Amino acid sequence: MASPSSAPHLFLFAASLLLLSSSPATATDHIVGANHGWNPGINYTLWANNQTFYVGDLISFRYQKSQYNVFEVNQTGYDNCTTDGATGNWSSGKDFILLDKAKRYYFICGNGQCFNNMKVSVLVHALPSPPGGSGNSSDKSAAERVLDNAIGFTGYQLGVCGLVAAILMAPVWF
């Protein structure tokens, strides 16, 4: 039998699990071209227009790594199929790229296939602020947000954890 004093603890423990599981919506992995993957002759504008991208989502490229690759470029690179000044490049054949800023991203294939439509541009939207959220998450540096994603905790969740810890400790003080 549980002693009378442990009952509130069990209740609060269960309540804290519920709170933690009601975390903000999880990130989406947007697979470029869906089941067509990253290949020539596909209109990726149609693909991109059919989904909504939010900060923290991933975009992933699936392709034959012996044939293709991925470069992150600016609008000039996208329009003209040039990789000059590219800010990133990937070639694993299964690349997961974190979209950590609310902005328009441009990706192209760097081996000439950009001219066969291997280019995609996606507009990433800021997340709606979480209920009771305090800060403006766009104030955070990219590094902080990458860290948040790596740890899998948002400031909101950390706040909830602190609150729950305080509640759980409270009976000890009586």
Ligand X SMILES: *[C@@H]1O[C@H](CO)[C@@H](O)[C@H](O)[C@H]1NC(C)=O
Least separation in angstroms between CB 37 and ligand X? 14
Q: Which is nearer to ligand X, 6 or 116 (CB)?
A: 116
Burial class of 86 by CB neighbour count within 10 A (0 to 12, 13 to 18, 19+): middle
Alpha-carbon Rg of the chain, whole angstroms? 22
Least separation in angstroms between CB 11 and ligand X? 36
Q: Which is nearer to ligand X, 89 or 149 (CB)?
A: 89
Least separation in angstroms between CB 173 and ligand X? 37
Among all residues, whose Cβ is closest to ligand X?
85
Question: Which residues lie near ligand X (CB under 6 A)?
Answer: 43, 45-47, 50, 74-77, 79-80, 84-86, 89, 117, 129, 136, 138-139
Give the distance from CA 16 to its chain's centroid. 25
**What CA–CA distance (Å, rounded) separates 142 from 100?**
6
* Contact criterion met (CB below 8 Å) for 149 and 27: yes
Report how far apart the first and last C-alpha atoms of the chain are (Å, whole number).
22
Q: Which is nearer to ligand X, 84 or 172 (CB)?
A: 84
Least separation in angstroms between CB 60 and ligand X? 16
